[in-house]
A and B are shown apart, each in its own frame.
Chain A
Amino acid sequence: MTALLEASGVSKHFGGLYALNGLDLHVNEHEIVSVIGPNGAGKSTVFNVITGLYTPDGGEVAFRGGSLLGRLPSQVTKLGIARTFQNVKLFPNMTVLENAMVGQHCRTKTGVVGALLRTPSARREEAVIRERAADALGFFGSRLAGYRQDQLASVLSYANRRRLEMARAMATEPVLLLLDEPTAGMNPRETLELRDHIVRMRDERGITILLIEHDMRVVKGVSDRVVALDYGQKIAEGSYEYVAHDPRVIEAYLGTKATG
């Protein structure tokens, strides 16, 4: 069986700095894979390469057997890969619902003529967009429901911004969802709640998930597989237990033991 996402030998350097150095990474369908590693290990760069924001200097990235290289971010999203950003990036002056409706953009096709004439098909599509966006928001229960859908995204609490960003990504109807530190800045209770959401996203909606995460309780709770990066290379891969006890991972996080 071929993997849903297959990155092989991916390199990306900025000047003399290798953010990624011959990285191999694969994600199987219906899997939840966590990427861990210390700051600067190249985790976010992986996401940016996959989604087309960066062009890799070497290697290959394939999604469902087709290459992603040279595709624009919008095209990658249309193929079924959605993402969130490490530092939450919403459309702050649009309402919560509109943010999610933007996610539906790549699944709909009303053009200028439809919009100007308000054709029946355009109206129907607009209703569908609204419905699906509300559905994506509804995934987070009462958090993003009700009056809140008409609020500007900029007035949301921090945790809700993260949730909205995930809802917006879900509204693109992705096959693979890339979550960049989804629990960063959340309090313990919210973190636990989000952990359940991630698992539910896979179980209920069938979305494959690749996430970058620092909170080891979350990594432990959700991951089918964990990949540890350091200096742009994979240093360990396997179950949480395996990776967590790998001496190279411990070294990457804590440094080497003083010898002698």
Chain B
Amino acid sequence: MRSVVVRGAVRAGAVAGITVWYLALVGIIERLADLAIIGGFLTMDQLLIFLPAALAGWVALRPRVIGGERLTPDSKTAIVGGLTTGLASAAVVVAGVVIVNLIGVESVRRVFSSLSPALMDELYLGLAPVAGTIVLGLCMVVVAAAAAALRRLPANVRQPIVAGLAGVVAVALLERVAAPAFDQTGIEKDWLYNKRLGGLEWVGAVVVFVVVALTVRFELGRRLRDILLPDRAADKGALAVSAQPATVAAAEMDATTQAEPPSAPEREDHPLEPRVSARSLQIVAWLVIAGLLAVLPYLVGPVVARILGSVGIFLLLGLGLNIVVGYAGLLDLGYVAFFAVGAYFTAILTGGQRVTFAGFRPPVIGADLNFFVALPIVVLIAAVIGMLIGAPVLRLRGDYLAIVTLGFGEIARVIFGSTWAEELFGGALGMSEITSAPIPGTTFDFQSDPRHFYYLVLAFCLLAIVVSWRLQASRIGRAWNAMREDEQVADAMGISTTRYKLLAFAMGGAIGSIGGALFAVSLGSLTIASFKILVSITALAIIILGGLGSIPGVIVGALVLIGLPGLLTQFEDYRLLIYGATLIAVMILRPQGLVPNIRRSRELQEDERSQDQWAKHLLEADATDAPQPSGGAIT
């Protein structure tokens, strides 16, 4: 055991050291030098220097399966492993420092342009080179050992601590968003953020840590979710009660929804009472959320409202693509086509003008409709195009489908930007003078005020969420589900796969085109540069990150992949690097996504537990009734 851990520790430590150098050489560390986490104590670059070592310590001490047995390292192994990890990572980093100094910083810089004297100073932690290098190495050892020790703690202590630390970093990074919100509402914030140095005050950091840790410790997030979305659990409970013995049904409800020991039959005794209060609690919770959503843009100010607007646009893309990929299982890499269709057709139907070298020219076919009149037409066009794209690929599956749709996405881009269709879509110079979607009789200006635009996007996002939700819970959603699981069998069960594939492309295209239409409104002008394949990839990344087929997942995915980079402008240059790293991490650690579809992630273990309950019930029934064969079913 110990040798396995130590070997793993050396490896993890070495990887951590290399990661630090990688981050340094691509320039992230230097870029983040002035981003404070805790004012005067910790900056983001220092965090990035030590984080790999901490992660390595954490990973090195993971429980191992040896000879079919799951073993948790004992305390001695943990100490040895943690120190080894730290030494290994420190050795790599320090070796790097020595090598750079031997060659000379300026010489190395000719190859790695980010390696500046300033960066070296950061690695020395602001001390003299020799002393700094020694302290750096020692600190890495300490950090790795601390992470390894943390791993040894029981889960109910460990998880709150980790979450609390992550929360402190997150709140510090969100200073730019949160500070205006505090100013706006007039709440005192000086205890939280350090005005002079940036980052958090010590008091603020402690408060954030405690709040987040307690939230995680008492699973408030899950409780909130149960309050907000109890429907599924309630439905199932009711169904099971009507069908079979009450105690088993109650046990099942507990087992799958709350993971408590199945011992709550009192729910059966008062079936109405708790449900009514849960219901009112649910309504109150939703009202609070609705109220928050309503005042949000004025709370956070126009800059963040603009970011929320683009989150909304990508949320629409994600929801649409989720129907095609998540529900129907058709991997579509050309989804940007619908985004472009929505944007360009909105432009030509609402009086948008082609940009030419001789000034604005109207498109050959065009209209000057109000946005809200034009939108249904745009959506219809997108649905039809969805079916047109869908028709030739009906027989393709998986990889082949992905490649062909990838081609369609490029074709769309080429057509919209082509000289051939210049008279219609403006060619390389694009379109301008696109409507700001005025609502007659109101003073909303969706183009120049991002806070107003936020409400427009919010309305359509809510609509798209309801549409997705209802489709999923219907006969149609079931047909898509079945088709995704096994197309041939779905066909044999009477589902016309042709019809449902086309329907998925049409619905997905329709929702995506709304995203495109709003994008056009928000900018007022379009160029083909906005419709690159990267849009398709981003939309796909959103739904994969959140969890395929899960509506809350799409929301979280859009917030994480669009919202966070928008807020953390310091990371802007490394956006794609972080995308990639995030996706790899999620795919390895949580392949079902951050907020997976419930049905896809329900745990086997819980099912087995309720199966045992069922077996017990059957045995009791057998004892009283005529003997019934029950052996094979319970295996």
Contacts and interface: CB of A to CB of B under 8 A. Distances in A.
A92 B490 CA distance: 12
A118 interface: yes
B259 interface: no
A246 interface: no
Interface stretch (B188-196, B356-364, B561-569, B597-605): B597-605
Contact of A146 (B248, B476, B493): B248
A108 interface: yes
B493 A157 contact: no
B239 A149 contact: yes
A186 B618 CA distance: 20
A118 B251 CA distance: 31
A190 B628 CA distance: 11
Interface string A100-121: 0111011110111011101000
Contacts of B608: 155
B280 interface: no
A98 B232 CA distance: 14
Interface residues of A, number: 63
Nearest to B499: A74
A142 B618 contact: yes
Given A116-B470, A146-B244, A147-B248, A152 B634 contact: no
B240 A112 contact: no
B40 interface: no
A85 B475 contact: no
Secondary structure at chain A's binding surface: helix, strand, loop or mixed? helix
A73 B478 CA distance: 18
Interface string B608-624: 10110110001001000
Contacts of A102: 478-479, 481-482, 490, 493, 495
Nearest to A142: B618
Central interface residue in B489, B607, B633, by most chain A CB within 10 Å: B633
B488 interface: yes
A172 B495 CA distance: 11
Contact of B467 (A93, A105, A116, A125): A116
Contact of B629 (A98, A105, A148, A189): A189
Central interface residue in B482, B604, B608, B610, by most chain A CB within 10 Å: B482
A150 B489 contact: no
B246 to A, nearest CB: 10
Contacts of B240: 146-147, 149-150
Nearest to A174: B494
B493 A106 contact: yes
Contacts of B495: 74, 102, 105-106
Contacts of B489: 85, 89-91
A116 B495 CA distance: 19
B236 A157 contact: no
A147 B493 contact: no
A95 B621 CA distance: 25
Nearest to B479: A105
Central interface residue in B256, B489, B507, by most chain A CB within 10 Å: B489
B634 A157 contact: yes
A150 B632 contact: no
A110 B503 CA distance: 14
Interface of B: 236, 239-240, 243-245, 248-249, 251-252, 256, 467, 470-471, 474-479, 481-482, 485-486, 488-497, 503, 507, 599-600, 602, 604, 607-608, 610-611, 613-614, 618, 621, 628-629, 631-635
Interface of A: 51, 53, 72-75, 77-78, 82-83, 85, 89-95, 97-98, 101-103, 105-108, 110-112, 114-116, 118, 122, 125-126, 129-130, 134, 142-143, 145-152, 155, 157-160, 168-169, 172, 186-187, 189-190, 193
Given A89-B488, A94-B482, 20 more contacts: A53-B488, A72-B496, A83-B492, A91-B485, A102-B478, A102-B479, A105-B475, A105-B482, A105-B494, A116-B470, A125-B475, A142-B621, A146-B248, A147-B252, A147-B614, A150-B240, A152-B599, A155-B607, A155-B611, A187-B632
9 contacts: A73-B491, A91-B490, A103-B493, A112-B507, A116-B471, A146-B243, A146-B614, A147-B610, A150-B256
